């Protein structure tokens, strides 16, 4: 089950970082750029990648390519920073000094304006074949700045069958200087034909303390908040950042965690399900409304609206297309918001289970220990497991396009029964 993949990229986007390029740039800049690898948190594989960067650099001067290869697959659980790692790797390959974080190459890769780094980011639910068709010719270009032509596919698990087929030929035999970087939760999410051409970089869920340290040193968040956010986010960096910086995200989470305590009768169960869906809609509105408006505005201005005298041609078509994409994004934001809530509830039952089984381990929701104790006393481990199972099933059903309200209602009823 990799239903969790949903929340992955999106939490980063919806949180505070990715959606607006200005924020993400300033976030990264605050690191003072000792290295592009600073943003890759708690990953023991980094030195190996750095070695590859050195090999790659040497191969440009004619040395054997060593550990460098032309197709990479970054895998790891949601929030482990797959696309962040891929971008860091890309920047390090383009940089003269292995990813200094300050030179023009590093900055351009970070800002998404490097001519030799193309990234396919999907904000919708799947990657369309037309997007792949636009990408493949880019992979065939010779690098304009002389080092590597890099193509990053975030959320490669969202490639449909035909989109994956379209990609295959190019991933199989790219030109000498072209490097593909795909990102997906697990290697199994990628068609075997493509997977077999890639070298896999496996990332792990970063330990909470590494995330906390990252948040406090890089993003200037106070230690206590950082520790809480890292623990509550269960190693999901984007989510941790959102919890640490966004009051709204915190209060949303608190609301969600009240849910298991208010499932006494049918009425409450249905209300709980409805409130999850409503909150997701509200989330989507909060994140998308302003953003949608701004994007349309920017596009119109770029095409010359607001000028007096004449209405630019093609503008309506371009705006319509943008709006279509925005609608898909909204669906995904809603879905991801529900998934995030479910993960939080799942973590709560996990804590309950730990208490019931007497396992001495750090509780994710340590601050609500008393309530957890109460829940643990009032039920048995078997029913907690059944509840967790129900949440898992609901997440899978939602991934498979089930109607959100129905799915959540059914889940809430199972949670009540235990």
Which spans of this chain sit near other proteins (rule: CB under 8 A)? 112-113, 115, 133-134, 136-137, 139-146, 149, 166, 169-170, 174-178, 298-299, 301-310, 312-314, 317-318, 321-322
Per residue in 76-95, is it b (16+ CB within 10 Å) or e — as a string? Answer: bbbbbbbbbbbbbbbbbbbb
By beta-carbon proximity to other proteins, the closer residue of 19 and 201 is 19
The DSSP H or E segment spanning 295 is helix 266-302
Q: What is the DSSP letter of 3?
A: T
Question: CB 244 → other proteins: shortest distance, Å?
Answer: 30
Question: CB 16 → other proteins: shortest distance, Å?
Answer: 21
Question: CB 172 → other proteins: shortest distance, Å?
Answer: 12
C-alpha to C-alpha distance for 371 and 69, rounded to whole angstroms: 52
Give the angle subtended at the CA of 395 by the CAs of 387 and 215, to the nearest 5°.
100
Question: CB 401 → other proteins: shortest distance, Å?
Answer: 28
Question: CB 125 → other proteins: shortest distance, Å?
Answer: 21
By beta-carbon proximity to other proteins, the closer residue of 120 and 288 is 120
By beta-carbon proximity to other proteins, the closer residue of 168 and 279 is 168
Sign of the CA dihedral 329, 331, 334, 336? negative
Question: CB 93 → other proteins: shortest distance, Å?
Answer: 16
Question: CB 110 → other proteins: shortest distance, Å?
Answer: 14
C-alpha to C-alpha distance for 324 and 124, rounded to whole angstroms: 10
Q: Is 294 exposed, middle or buried (0-12, 13-18, 19+ CB in 10 A)?
A: exposed
Per residue in 365-393, is it b (16+ CB within 10 Å) or e — as a string? Answer: beebeebbeebbeebeeebbebbbebbbb
Edge-to-edge strands, sheet with 178-184? 117-120, 149-153, 178-184, 71-75, 199-202
By beta-carbon proximity to other proteins, the closer residue of 301 and 380 is 301
By beta-carbon proximity to other proteins, the closer residue of 199 and 313 is 313
Residue 305: both structure tokens together: 């609206």
By beta-carbon proximity to other proteins, the closer residue of 200 and 318 is 318
**Among the listed residues 288, 292, 263, 264, the one whose alpha carbon sits nearest the alpha carbon of residue 276:** 263
* Residues 189/2, Cβ–Cβ less than 8 Å: yes
By beta-carbon proximity to other proteins, the closer residue of 154 and 339 is 154
Question: CB 112 → other proteins: shortest distance, Å?
Answer: 8
By beta-carbon proximity to other proteins, the closer residue of 67 and 307 is 307
Question: CB 135 → other proteins: shortest distance, Å?
Answer: 10
By beta-carbon proximity to other proteins, the closer residue of 1 and 308 is 308
Question: CB 294 → other proteins: shortest distance, Å?
Answer: 11
By beta-carbon proximity to other proteins, the closer residue of 44 and 308 is 308
C-alpha to C-alpha distance for 240 and 379, rounded to whole angstroms: 30
User: Quick one: how far is CA 255 from the chain centroid?
Assistant: 23
**Within 10 Å of residue 254's Cβ, how many Cβ atoms?**
12
């Amino acid at each position: 089950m990799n239903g969790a993949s949903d929340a992955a990229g999106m939490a980063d986007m919806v949180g505070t970082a990715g959606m607006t390029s200005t924020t993400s740039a300033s976030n990264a800049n605050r690191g003072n750029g000792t290295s592009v690898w600073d943003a890759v948190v708690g990953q023991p594989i980094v030195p190996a990648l750095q070695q590859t960067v050195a090999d790659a650099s040497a191969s440009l001067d004619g040395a054997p390519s060593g550990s460098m290869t032309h197709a990479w697959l970054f895998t790891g659980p949601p929030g482990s920073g797959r696309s962040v790692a891929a971008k860091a790797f890309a920047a390090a390959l383009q940089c003269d000094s292995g990813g200094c974080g300050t030179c023009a190459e590093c900055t351009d890769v970070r800002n998404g304006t490097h001519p030799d780094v193309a990234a396919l980011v999907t904000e919708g639910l799947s990657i369309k074949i037309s997007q792949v068709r636009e990408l493949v010719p880019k992979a065939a270009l010779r690098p304009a700045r002389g080092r590597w032509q890099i193509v990053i596919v975030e959320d490669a698990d969202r490639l449909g069958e035909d989109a994956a087929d379209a990609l295959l030929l190019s991933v199989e035999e790219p030109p000498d200087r072209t490097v593909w970087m795909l990102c997906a939760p697990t290697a199994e999410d990628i068609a075997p034909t493509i997977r077999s051409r890639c070298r896999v970089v496996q990332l792990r869920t970063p330990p909470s303390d590494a995330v906390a340290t990252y948040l406090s040193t890089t993003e200037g968040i106070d230690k206590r908040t950082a520790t809480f956010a890292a623990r509550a986010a269960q190693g999901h960096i984007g989510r941790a950042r959102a919890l640490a910086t966004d009051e709204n995200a915190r209060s949303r989470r608190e609301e969600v965690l009240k849910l298991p305590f208010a499932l006494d009768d049918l009425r409450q169960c249905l209300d709980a399900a409805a409130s999850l869906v409503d909150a997701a809609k509200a989330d989507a509105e909060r994140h998308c409304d302003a953003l949608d408006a701004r994007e349309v505005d920017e596009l119109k201005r770029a095409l010359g609206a607001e000028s007096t005298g004449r209405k630019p041609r093609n503008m309506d078509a371009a705006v319509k297309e943008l709006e279509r994409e925005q609608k898909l994004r909204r669906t995904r934001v809603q879905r991801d918001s529900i998934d995030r809530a479910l993960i939080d509830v799942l973590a709560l039952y996990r804590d309950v289970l730990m208490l019931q089984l007497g396992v001495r381990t750090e509780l994710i929701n340590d601050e609500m220990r008393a309530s957890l104790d109460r829940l643990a006393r009032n039920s048995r481990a078997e029913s907690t497991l059944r509840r967790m199972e129900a949440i898992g099933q609901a997440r899978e059903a939602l991934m498979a396009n089930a109607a959100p309200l129905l799915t959540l209602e059914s889940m809430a009823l199972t949670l009540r029964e235990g």
